[in-house]
A and B are shown apart, each in its own frame.
Chain A
């Protein structure tokens, strides 16, 4: 499974999102490769990803990709990330 965490610059918010998503995935026992990306390269990377994690601002900019786009409000809220990731993960 490939997950892309997207932000504007690719060094700040997406890195935090990637770290916390990895924490959640470990707890859930899900084997996934999480990458951080800036919005410029995100569209390309999202093409072969199953899930895109991002903030409200970028959700619409990612455009038409096969991946499920999940909006996270609080990047530090592991419960929010867990709930939203669980809903998006295949059974």
Chain B
């Protein structure tokens, strides 16, 4: 069986109640968590920030939720995901979905390896994210995610 979203989120990949003064800091924290969990190098974090500078805040895909990512590159060591809840909501400049309270960092080595995780993510984030944002430790978060993963 393929790894589910909850399996992907090691303790290093989860930062809860992070303090970020602006969107760049928020993405950097998500990038640092990807690096800490062995998915990426620092260069990928810079690529994620550059993506928003060049393409706009389209990564804010739903109210309160940003999916920080770039594309497969040598800066991606393995496919992975990070989860950063913010202590204070942060403006990304999105017309409909600001401010952001949750930044999910995504790194993929190719176009297919992360599809199970993405499918889980779609299921989990379609529901009520308030309870997910109340998680105070990674184990509690993984349990909540498992409850919401079909």
Contact between B62 and A76, CB atoms less than 8 A apart: yes
Contact between A56 and B121, CB atoms less than 8 A apart: no
Contact between B72 and A11, CB atoms less than 8 A apart: yes
State the CA gap A58–B119 with chains docked (Å).
Answer: 23
Contact between A38 and B71, CB atoms less than 8 A apart: yes
The count of residues in chain B whose C-beta lies closer than 8 Å to any C-beta of chain A is 29
State the CA gap A8–B119 with chains docked (Å).
Answer: 19
User: Chain A contacts of B63 at CB under 8 A?
Assistant: 74
Contact between B55 and A39, CB atoms less than 8 A apart: yes
**Is A73 located at the chain interface by the 8 A CB criterion?**
yes
Q: Can you list, as one digit per residue, whether each of A9-30 has a CB less than 8 Å from chain B (1) or not (0)?
A: 1111101100110000000000
B33-85 interface (Cβ within 8 A of A) = 51, 55-59, 61-63, 65, 67, 69-72
State the CA gap A12–B122 with chains docked (Å).
Answer: 11
Partner of A11, one of B57, B111, B126: B111
Nearest A residue to B68, CB-CB: A12
Contact between B122 and A19, CB atoms less than 8 A apart: yes
Shortest 9 CB-CB distances between A and B: which pairs? A57-B58, A57-B56, A12-B69, A73-B96, A8-B55, A75-B61, A76-B126, A9-B71, A55-B58
